[in-house]
């Protein structure tokens, strides 16, 4: 089973030809409302990829919160650990998507920001094989979840998004760290332009902080490194991406991480799990919206098999 501790948001998405500059007002197209939040996105992604998922988080006691919980229910996610708060609104993300399928996002955390370390009970992690974390809830909650997950014997996967700098002590309970190139650069204290030419080296460098590090590379796939005691150099590799036509990159990273968690929880070796994760991320960019774009296990497997033929 996969336990996801994280955010739940309503995404309000508006298409634009280009992003505005400071002080400018632009007219966009018709807005759309989608279920989102990195935590909920990854929970749904893992469930659609074949995982059994439990979600822990906070929403407001409002129409948005009820709508988000209904969405989790529809995808078979156990959301009894998602609590409605009467004194906070449900989180909202304001997203604009330009003509090149790139996006900008402003998040109003609302109830997500009220999730504290004391709100997490040890029994919520019973039976967990993988615990999946992100950073759209307070850091103290994510760190406490990692501690409880390790006590329960689970594999702890942290997606360092939104990006922040954490030290080895804060990462001591993390088994698998997933970052994109800019997040990796921030964590390592290097320029993102320098990392672009050496993502494999960045993954290796990150193993000084965590046992396994994965750096996602967008359309180019992903690279990984794993700490080893047999040699001075960590084991490492690269898994190719899948060529697709992108229409919206929203939640591509969440699709990747959710599918990765499902594959690891199912016992897949790391490189096989990364192939599934790369396929999920690729499929997600071919559809609009966050949760609406997250692919099923059947679609992921079909793309993986198609690439082998």
As a whole number of angstroms, the distance between CA 262 and CA 231 comes to 30
Closest to 59 (Cα-Cα) out of 37, 41, 31: 37
Active site residue 194: no
As a whole number of angstroms, the distance between CA 16 and CA 274 comes to 33
Rounded to 5°, angle at Cα 226 from 220 and 230: 140
Q: Look up residue 259 and give its two tokens.
A: 């599918």
With beta carbons less than 8 A apart as the criterion, state whether 88 and 111 touch.
yes
With beta carbons less than 8 A apart as the criterion, state whether 16 and 28 touch.
yes
Rounded to 5°, angle at Cα 130 from 127 and 133: 120
Spell 126-144 as b/e; 16+ CB within 10 A means b: eebbbbbbbbbbbeebbbb
Strands 103-108 and 91-97: antiparallel
List 119, 248, 254, 265, catalytic entry: 254
Question: Residue 276: how many CB atoms within 10 A of its CB?
Answer: 25
Spell 83-92 as b/e; 16+ CB within 10 A means b: bbbeebbbbb
Beta bridge partners of 238: 223
Closest to 287 (Cα-Cα) out of 251, 258, 259, 256: 251
**H helical segments located in 104-222:** 139-151, 181-188, 192-196, 199-206
Which residues are catalytic, by number? 254
């Amino acid at each position: 089973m996969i336990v996801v501790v994280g955010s739940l948001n309503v995404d309000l998405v508006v298409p634009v030809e280009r992003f505005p500059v400071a002080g400018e007002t632009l007219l966009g197209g018709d807005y759309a409302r989608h279920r989102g939040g990195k935590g909920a996105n990854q929970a749904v992604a893992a469930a659609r990829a074949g995982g059994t998922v439990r979600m822990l988080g906070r929403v407001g006691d409002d129409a948005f919160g009820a709508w988000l919980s209904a969405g989790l229910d529809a995808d078979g996610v156990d959301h009894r650990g998602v609590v409605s708060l009467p004194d906070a609104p449900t989180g909202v993300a304001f997203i604009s998507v330009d003509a090149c399928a790139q996006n900008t996002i402003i998040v109003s955390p609302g109830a997500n920001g009220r999730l504290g370390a004391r709100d997490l009970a040890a029994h919520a992690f019973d039976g967990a094989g993988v615990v999946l974390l992100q950073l759209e809830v307070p850091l103290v909650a994510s760190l406490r979840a990692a501690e409880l997950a390790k006590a329960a014997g689970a594999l702890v996967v942290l997606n360092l998004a939104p990006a922040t700098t954490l030290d080895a002590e804060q990462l001591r309970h993390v088994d698998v760290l997933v970052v994109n190139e800019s997040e990796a650069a921030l964590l390592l204290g290097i320029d993102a332009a320098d990392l672009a030419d050496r993502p494999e080296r960045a993954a290796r460098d990150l193993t000084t902080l965590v046992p396994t590090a994965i750096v996602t590379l967008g359309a180019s796939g992903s690279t990984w490194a794993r700490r080893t005691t047999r040699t001075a150099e960590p084991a490492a590799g690269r898994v190719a991406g899948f060529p697709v036509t992108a229409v919206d990159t929203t939640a591509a990273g969440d699709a990747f991480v959710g599918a990765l968690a499902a594959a690891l929880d199912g016992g897949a070796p790391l490189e096989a799990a990364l192939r599934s994760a790369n396929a999920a991320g690729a499929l997600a960019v071919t559809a609009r919206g966050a949760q609406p774009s997250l692919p099923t296990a059947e679609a992921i497997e079909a793309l993986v098999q198609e690439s082998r033929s």
